Structure 1
């Protein structure tokens, strides 16, 4: 991306050329001066040590910190270290930070060299600090039970959209005299709107405009001694509630379907502290399209459908970190790079448009055929898009790893015939008549069969047959280093085999293995490189056919299923707030052939939105406009004349 901070290193310290100020200070007499200042200002004056020790140890809990100005990440590292030392195991830290110009990964690592005491937390952050995009980026640090939600953008845009409940605020960033834009009424109004009773704040500055701004919106403000040469600083709290408000209990959730959508949804809900029960009619997990031995991970962009592209590139950066965090072995997940080529005139035009529009995001490069050949290790005949982080994953292994979470209970060979809402929650009726316990919420993730459980939902679900297979490794392709992708895909040889695929047959519901499909796959991959030998032994090995599930606009259905019968049929709705409240029934289906990439990202979004519906408001992964474009009933909204309600992004992401 092109919005990285432009630094000038003076005596080894990072200075912002935009604001002419240092990100942190050190003293010859005290090399850890910057870290000591962070601990004094932000950790001590938000009373974090004591507050974290008092979190419940017998149930899940969440603590949310919001920071203005991520900078070098020093405040986050110090907080993360203290969190690990003091917080109970079941607690989760959500650290939200707003940054208009983030450090490059290289600058971040260089800045952290000043603080050897933070080496372990720095390493954990730097492993995740990659592929950052404008907007919301969520980085998971599972070994610390923590998440970093990094908003990359102007605070003037981010703050009014912020939806969360904060326990503490780190008011950092450059001094008001250097960066007055951040210290505006919008910041203080956001704090008042998003603070929990007794939420605290701390800031290094004692400027009068900051003190007056905080007091004007209702904060109790104190002026206390600062650190080192800074004589004074500010801290305080949001007033307590009239009565003690206990946090709501985490909902108990049933998931129907154990493919990549169901397993991912279960994982992210369980990680947030929910008790999750997963039901599937099969004996094992991932028996449908998620059972293929290899699936390719890259964003197929078209530069013409903004919301589809937004979902693709946001998912891409998210899932590469997610699969890496699962600790999958090299036999189940590998980042080897991927070349996407345009073998036909139409595809070459698309490749050119995508490269022109999205190269600035840092996710891809446009390569000539000669450059692509050097990158691939085999001859390539056409210009390509190169995804350096392109990867493949074994979805069965990934699903199994997610299902091992201790908060997940697995119920195989349970075919669900009906869903019934009662006063105590939702109950599932099995095919044989057995009725389940009550659940606060149900998420339907069983692909095209979801329409049978939720009639009249307005979802159009189309089964799409796909067949992939393995072929013996070709000596001619032994030097292939990256995944090749066009109409089909071919992976570098592993254990004597190439993976190839996959056919795409909408409306075909058969899963028999077909020689014709095998020959079609061979034809597709033969066009990926002139070096591919079509006369080589290409016997069909380990072929597999499965059904995916698609939608008319090639976007998944993700979110609550609402009862629309009580809505007035008068003026068209323009605001989601006017819709009925969620009733505890959710859908997560229709990822088509892109589920391995988009489903985990959508699952993480859905898990946080579901918890918010039950009063546990956690930092969001997406904007409301993004959610609107994925709503399960978006086609109904349009039919009812509520086109303004479905308001996906109408522009491509900008730098």
Structure 2
């Protein structure tokens, strides 16, 4: 049986761990019956350990929950097992089903914070929090219906069994939330009662004489429960990556969606033939690095899921090397190396392969993706996009009044709306769009005498995505435009092809422009704000929170848009959000409320 030397306690209280989990947590919270009648359900756990509680709960969820229901799990762990120890314990516990394999394959690096693990076959997601429970719980947003209080014994692990933790448990508890725990310690009972739980002693499991169960009877949480937690039909304005990813996230949670876009699927900048998934790290900005790590994990999980279901290849290359070509780039590489890859999410390898003689960082999880194909794969299982412009958005007059959209065909009502319309759409639907500026970007497809440097993406000044044979996509220009929404010619320009070649002259095989043949090009217009982060959250247009934004993904949209979609879906429904509150605030549209459009000439 697994034993934690640091805590002087075992991971299980009996010789039959599965029976213990079933009685102490699943039956104590009456989960099979509650699963059978729910649309969404959330479970919180203090003490992830081996993941057995989670995996046995997923098995019960598969058996009893409706096919369109969604399960959100939150689990905390201050001392996570290594991947090797987790695999060893799973072998001893006989855990080799699709869910346990998904857990091991997506097990996060030992980086403090929240990490998402997807179980698409079970219609479930785990938010695994690594770190001390009380400060981490204080940064969690969402509501819990049932708790597994499963840390090591209170006498050996007092940091997990105290009023600081229990106050946060109460804050996150939905009305009538329940709990089950193996312990029967008197102080635990008194502390839980003090924060609003009614507590009962019941017969213990195995040789244990007693354990505790209970129900939350405390005051309603603040802020009030989301007004759209019962939403059933949500409108999406925009069928680019942000809108389609949001519709996909909502549909996974059992929400019906209607998507509007006169240009159709990926009709704007999301229709580009090649994009690079690359984190934007900072040597001291831990919140920005947390977003980058979460974004990398979410986008890769989405691509894995879609490639598995569609049997289409969406990725063009694996691995990205960033080379410090300019003085600014060299300084950036030096600072990140000095900070250390552990301080930046373990996302880069300072000794990875390179294709140029320059300071570099290698991102093994980086990708190049066919964006248009990614959008088509997302749209495949969504309702057909309605090719109608949305000309107005009007919030309801009461919290449960919904939202009305104006189209040329008339007015339609929805429970909520997400604005994800692209740059240059010609219509401003919310005040936050006044902070957005637009840039055009042109990519160039070439044939050149490229050496085989390993098939990964080379970036520095521009990027080079090697393709079949001697072909490659290179780019991209970043040209500031004026007069967003005005009709203008967006045709590819020969001078932008020349600029792409000039910026990539450091890549082996691209030193001599006269030896390079231009095969094709693609140009599009992108929406950005000053800090290059998207606008994700509630619009000022509606104080009831039923009008949400997923905008301005013109810089690193492949990194941010799928993560933003997950956050919005969970926020709307009151489920556990994938980012800590302070980190999510970096994306809040209100941060630019008093600013006009912004943008510089640098990508």
| CA deviation profile, 1:338-373 (whole Å, cap 9, x unmatched) | 111101222111111123225114433453xxx54x
Q: Out of 386-395 and 154-163, give the one that drifted further.
A: 154-163
Root mean square deviation, CA, Å: 2.9
Deviation at 1:415, TM superposition (A): 2.1
Aligned partner of residue 72 in structure 1, secondary structure:
coil
Contact 1:451–1:459 under 8 Å retained in 2: no
Distance 1:101 1:541, change over 3 A: farther
| CA deviation profile, 1:401-440 (whole Å, cap 9, x unmatched) | 222345x45202x12333344555433333xx32142123
Deviation at 1:304, TM superposition (A): 6.3
Distance 1:552 1:312, change over 3 A: same
| CA deviation profile, 1:375-414 (whole Å, cap 9, x unmatched) | 25xx4201211111111222222222222345x45202x1
1:444 aligns with 2:444: no
1:252 aligns with 2:248: no
Partner in structure 1 of residue 461 of structure 2: 487
Contact 1:332–1:393 under 8 Å retained in 2: yes
Partner in structure 2 of residue 410 of structure 1: 385
Contact 1:468–1:521 under 8 Å retained in 2: yes
Partner in structure 1 of residue 370 of structure 2: 394
- 2:406 aligned to 422, 426, 429, which one? 429
| CA deviation profile, 1:246-303 (whole Å, cap 9, x unmatched) | 9963242221111111111211122222221111111x31021111122111112243
- 1:288 aligned to 245, 248, 268, which one? 268
- 1:622 aligned to 570, 574, 579, which one? 579
Distance 1:48 1:118, change over 3 A: farther
1:464 aligns with 2:444: no
Q: Out of 174-183 and 486-495, give the one that drifted further.
A: 486-495
Aligned partner of residue 303 in structure 1, secondary structure:
coil
Aligned partner of residue 365 in structure 2, secondary structure:
coil
Partner in structure 2 of residue 70 of structure 1: 48
Contact 1:478–1:493 under 8 Å retained in 2: no
- 1:517 aligned to 481, 492, 496, which one? 496
Partner in structure 1 of residue 80 of structure 2: 102
- 2:324 aligned to 342, 346, 371, which one? 342
Partner in structure 1 of residue 133 of structure 2: 155
Return the alpha-carbon distance in structure 1 between the equivalents of residues 504 and 568 of structure 2: 36
Deviation at 1:172, TM superposition (A): 0.4
Return the alpha-carbon distance in structure 1 between the equivalents of residues 454 and 117 of structure 2: 32
- 2:26 aligned to 43, 61, 78, which one? 43
Contact 1:257–1:446 under 8 Å retained in 2: yes
Partner in structure 1 of residue 247 of structure 2: 266
Partner in structure 2 of residue 22 of structure 1: 10
Distance 1:43 1:495, change over 3 A: farther
Contact 1:465–1:507 under 8 Å retained in 2: yes
Partner in structure 1 of residue 506 of structure 2: 527
1:419 aligns with 2:402: no
Partner in structure 1 of residue 485 of structure 2: none
Deviation at 1:176, TM superposition (A): 0.7
Contact 1:164–1:620 under 8 Å retained in 2: yes
Distance 1:287 1:247, change over 3 A: closer
Distance 1:634 1:121, change over 3 A: closer
Distance 1:26 1:425, change over 3 A: closer
Aligned partner of residue 66 in structure 2, secondary structure:
coil
Aligned partner of residue 337 in structure 1, secondary structure:
strand
Deviation at 1:314, TM superposition (A): 2.8
Distance 1:425 1:88, change over 3 A: closer
Partner in structure 1 of residue 298 of structure 2: 318
Where in structure 1 are there 5+ consecutive unaligned residues?
1-12, 28-32, 564-579, 612-616, 640-655
1:184 aligns with 2:167: no
Contact 2:141–2:577 under 8 Å retained in 1: yes
Return the alpha-carbon distance in structure 2 between the equivalents of residues 135 and 34 of structure 1: 28
1:588 aligns with 2:550: yes
Aligned partner of residue 587 in structure 1, secondary structure:
strand
Higher RCO (CA 8 Å, separation ≥ 6 residues): 2
Return the alpha-carbon distance in structure 1 between the equivalents of residues 68 and 124 of structure 2: 11
- 1:88 aligned to 66, 69, 91, which one? 66
Contact 1:491–1:499 under 8 Å retained in 2: yes
Return the alpha-carbon distance in structure 2 between the equivalents of residues 316 and 450 of structure 1: 28
TM-score (norm 2): 0.88
Distance 1:239 1:460, change over 3 A: closer
Partner in structure 2 of residue 599 of structure 1: 561
- 1:55 aligned to 37, 48, 58, which one? 37
Return the alpha-carbon distance in structure 2 between the equivalents of residues 559 and 427 of structure 1: 19
Contact 1:458–1:636 under 8 Å retained in 2: no
Return the alpha-carbon distance in structure 1 between the equivalents of residues 45 and 19 of structure 2: 18
Partner in structure 2 of residue 141 of structure 1: 119
Partner in structure 2 of residue 569 of structure 1: none
- 1:212 aligned to 190, 203, 208, which one? 190
Contact 2:99–2:119 under 8 Å retained in 1: no
